[in-house]
């Protein structure tokens, strides 16, 4: 009765009513989270789709999403030439976009996990390798077991992508015998995702088990699981590349590096890299490998040298030395030519190469006196001795390094405050950009927006000399057309003698649900809303006269 009276009161006022429900998709995870190139799969995007069908944007034209009949269900076709590796996907409507999610394209056959498979006794048998298994750890105490047949001396590589797909797990890999006894274990390898290599001591069936704990940890000590805890397990007895030598390439050049890893066939280790289009702001690039893993290749502004080539020779900055501490307690030393007051930056790349090295870098300031260094200024003109060793005096074939000998280079870290923005016709929104000046960066910069659709304009803003946050005003005309797509934000140098352009990209890893991801940077997205529906006038109503 009260609701009916309220409606009657509104109608009686003859008000203008404009009703519009806003609803952008929200996607928690994709399953399966990838496919083999040249195949078509069925995929579920778990989340909220109030408006269906949704629209889909993918960063590669070789990947095609098609909406199925039911909400959140898609058919995905990967072309034969679709680039191997991770790709960003956004689901959107006229009201906005979902947070970007990762979809993987692999080069090997892919299958789905089949339950029940929680013990060695009921393990899912994998008959053909290589293969990528798409699975979930769906509830507490869930484990997934896969049985693989190996010959004596055959090496199996198990590579798990889980945390990097957005799962809230710290995952583990075990290799067990058929009775369930542990033969090998890996907890980490590529970030929190484990990478395990196992050589069969005899011919037989061996069990690869996937499990994990919550991350960040909670009060439970049980094995964790949730429908969103998806993974991709790649199993192979074939070649698997762990790193390249040299570990980097000079900016603006092409090079053929040597691929190193497990089960590498003789004479098939060439790994071509093209760094001709790598911008000055990037110090590495990611290259896909045949196994579907992404390999980090460093990019520098000087020559890539092998430690064996420069022993006893004087080195000038910038230069990058690639070596390995093969023996326990080994330390490599190099001669550095320096002028008085010359500033240097020394650092070592190790863990991102899959190296076990915990590097310690020191420079000889006086005879037999070594000082730990990172940023260092030469007190006088002479040749100094630079030493790299392991922090714990360890060594081995996997204690490789890339030693960076550079001059400190001014740089800026530029990020917008959001992955997506929404503006309505006739409205204005704030776009905040942060510029952090590093290593004495002092170039005068202005923040701008580009690639805006028709009817959208943006102000510019000067970055303070000390760096910080600036705000752009992004405005839509009253007749601006609806739009969904990427825009680009930059800090641009305004001094013609010091030209500079620095893209501002959103760091996906700042989101609480994605602390690691296969792709961690993206350009911001803009949604221009459609105009509101025309206002309607509801005629005033008069109560009927009471009969006399």
CA distances from 468 to 196, 415, 437, 441, 521 (A): 43, 11, 8, 13, 20
Spell out where 3-143 has E strands: 16-17, 26-31, 34-36, 40-48, 55-58, 63-67, 73-78, 85-93, 96-97, 101-106, 110-112, 124-126, 131-136
- Domain end among 380, 406, 432: 406
Task: With beta carbons less than 8 A apart as the criterion, state whether 487 and 449 touch.
Answer: yes
pLDDT confidence band for 545 (50 / 70 / 90): low
Tell me: do 355 and 433 sit in the same domain: no
Mean pLDDT for 334-358 is 90
91 contact partners, CB below 8 Å, separation of at least 6: 25, 27, 45, 49, 54, 55, 56, 97, 98
Q: Is 536 a domain residue?
A: no
8 A C-beta contact, residue 193 and residue 163: yes
Q: Are residues 482 and 502 in the same domain?
A: yes
Q: Is residue 309 part of a domain?
A: yes
- Alpha carbons 86 and 155: distance in angstroms, whole number: 26
Question: Which of 147-161, 177-191, 343-357 is the least confident region?
Answer: 343-357
Q: What is the pLDDT of residue 179?
A: 93
Q: How high is the pLDDT of residue 190? A: 79
DSSP 139: S
pLDDT reported for residue 280: 81
Q: Is residue 484 part of a domain?
A: yes
Per-residue confidence (pLDDT) for residue 290, from 0 to 100 = 81
Q: How confident is the model at residue 6 (pLDDT cuts 50, 70, 90)?
A: very low
Q: Do 428 and 513 belong to one domain?
A: yes
Sort strands 230-236 and 536-537 into parallel, antiparallel or unpaired. Answer: unpaired
pLDDT digits (tens, 9 = 90+) for 130-156: 999 999 999 999 999 999 999 999 999
Same domain, 170 and 212: yes
pLDDT of res. 13: 33
- Beta partners for residue 486, in sequence order: 525
Model-level pTM? 0.87
User: What mean pLDDT is predicted for residues 429-437?
Assistant: 97
Question: What digits encode the pLDDT tens for the residues 81-91?
Answer: 999 999 999 99
- 29-45 pLDDT, tens digit per residue, is 999 999 999 999 999 99
Q: Is the pLDDT assigned to residue 8 strictly greater than 60?
A: no
The answer to whether residues 471 and 513 belong to one domain is yes
Of 450 and 9, the one with more pLDDT: 450
162-166, 436-440, 523-527, 531-535: segment of lowest average pLDDT: 531-535
Q: Give residue 21's pLDDT.
A: 52
Examine the fold and report which residue of 105, 128, 150 is the final residue of a domain before the chain moves on: 105
Q: What is the CATH number of the domain that holds 191?
A: 2.60.120.380
Q: Give the pLDDT band (50/70/90) at residue 18.
A: very low
* Mean pLDDT, residues 464-487 taken together: 97
Q: What is the tally of structural domains in the chain?
A: 5
Domain presence at residue 115: yes
Say which DSSP state 191 is in.
B
Tell me how many degrees the CA angle 400-409-448 measures, rounded to the nearest 5: 120
pLDDT digits (tens, 9 = 90+) for 292-333: 788 889 999 999 999 999 988 999 999 999 999 999 999 999
Average pLDDT, the chain: 90
* Domain harbouring 69, CATH code: 2.60.40.10
Per-residue pLDDT at 219: 73
Assign 519 a pLDDT band (cuts: 50, 70, 90): confident
At residue 538 the predicted structure's pLDDT band, cuts being 50, 70 and 90, is: low
| End residue of a domain, out of 190, 217, 238 | 238
Evaluate if residue 246 carries a pLDDT over 90: yes
12 pLDDT band, cuts 50/70/90, is very low
How much is the pLDDT for 547? 53
Q: Which of 120-134, 225-239, 352-366, 433-447 bottoms out in mean pLDDT, i.e. has the lowest? A: 352-366
Largest CA distance in the chain: 119
What pLDDT does 267 receive? 85
- Report pLDDT digits (tens) over 181-235: 999 999 987 778 999 999 999 999 999 999 999 887 777 778 989 999 999 999 9
Predicted confidence (pLDDT) per residue in 442-475, tens digit: 999 999 999 999 999 999 999 999 999 999 999 9
In a domain, 317, yes or no: yes
Strand partners, 254: 274
């Amino acid at each position: 009765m009260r609701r009916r009276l309220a409606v009657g009161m509104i109608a009686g006022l003859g008000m203008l009513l404009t009703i519009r429900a806003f609803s952008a998709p929200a996607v928690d995870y994709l399953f399966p989270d990838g496919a083999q190139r040249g195949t078509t799969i069925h995929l579920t995007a778990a989340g909220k789709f109030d408006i269906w069908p949704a629209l889909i944007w993918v960063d590669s034209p070789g990947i095609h999403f098609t909406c199925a009949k039911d909400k959140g269900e898609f058919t995905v076709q990967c072309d034969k030439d679709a680039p191997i590796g991770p790709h960003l996907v956004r689901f959107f409507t006229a009201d906005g976009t979902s947070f970007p999610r990762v979809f993987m394209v692999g080069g090997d056959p892919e299958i789905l996990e089949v339950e029940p498979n929680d013990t060695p006794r009921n393990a899912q048998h994998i008959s053909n390798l290589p293969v990528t298994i798409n699975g979930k750890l769906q509830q507490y105490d869930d484990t997934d077991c896969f049985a693989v047949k190996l010959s004596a001396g055959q090496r199996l590589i198990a590579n798990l992508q889980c945390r990097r797909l957005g799962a809230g797990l710290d995952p583990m890999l075990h290799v067990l015998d058929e009775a369930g006894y542990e033969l090998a274990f890996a907890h980490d390898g590529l970030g929190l995702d484990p990478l395990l290599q196992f050589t069969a001591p005899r011919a037989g069936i061996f069990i690869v088990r996937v499990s994990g704990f919550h991350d960040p940890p909670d009060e439970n000590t049980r094995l964790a699981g949730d429908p969103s805890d998806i993974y991709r397990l790649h199993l192979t007895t074939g070649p698997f590349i762990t790193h390249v030598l040299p570990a980097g390439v000079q900016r603006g050049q092409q090079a053929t590096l040597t691929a190193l890893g497990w089960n590498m066939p003789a004479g098939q280790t060439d790994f071509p890299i093209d760094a001709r289009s790598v911008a000055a702001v990037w110090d590495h690039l990611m290259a896909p490998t045949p196994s579907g893993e992404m390999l980090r290749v460093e990019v520098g502004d000087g020559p890539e040298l092998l430690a064996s080539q420069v022993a006893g020779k004087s080195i000038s900055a910038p230069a990058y030395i690639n070596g390995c501490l093969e023996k326990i307690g080994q330390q490599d030393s190099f001669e550095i030519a320096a002028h008085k007051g010359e500033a240097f930056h020394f650092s070592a790349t190790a863990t991102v190469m899959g190296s076990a090295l915990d590097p310690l870098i020191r420079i000889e300031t006086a005879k037999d006196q070594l000082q730990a260094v990172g940023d260092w200024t030469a007190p006088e003109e002479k040749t100094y001795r630079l030493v790299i060793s392991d922090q714990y005096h360890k060594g081995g074939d996997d204690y490789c390094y890339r030693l960076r000998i550079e001059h400190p280079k001014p740089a800026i870290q530029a990020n917008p405050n959001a992955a997506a923005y929404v503006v309505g016709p006739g409205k204005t929104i704030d776009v905040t950009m942060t510029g952090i000046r590093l290593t004495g960066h002092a170039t005068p910069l202005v923040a701008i927006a580009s690639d805006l659709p028709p009817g959208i304009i943006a102000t510019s803003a000067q970055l303070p000399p000390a760096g910080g946050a600036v705000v752009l005003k992004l405005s839509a005309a009253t007749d601006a057309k609806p739009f969904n797509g990427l825009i680009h934000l930059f800090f641009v140098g305004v001094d013609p003698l010091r030209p500079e352009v620095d893209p501002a990209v959103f760091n996906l890893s700042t989101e609480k649900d994605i602390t690691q991801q296969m792709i961690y940077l993206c350009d911001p997205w803009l949604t221009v809303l459609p105009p509101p529906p025309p206002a309607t006038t509801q005629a005033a109503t008069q109560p009927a006269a009471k009969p006399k």
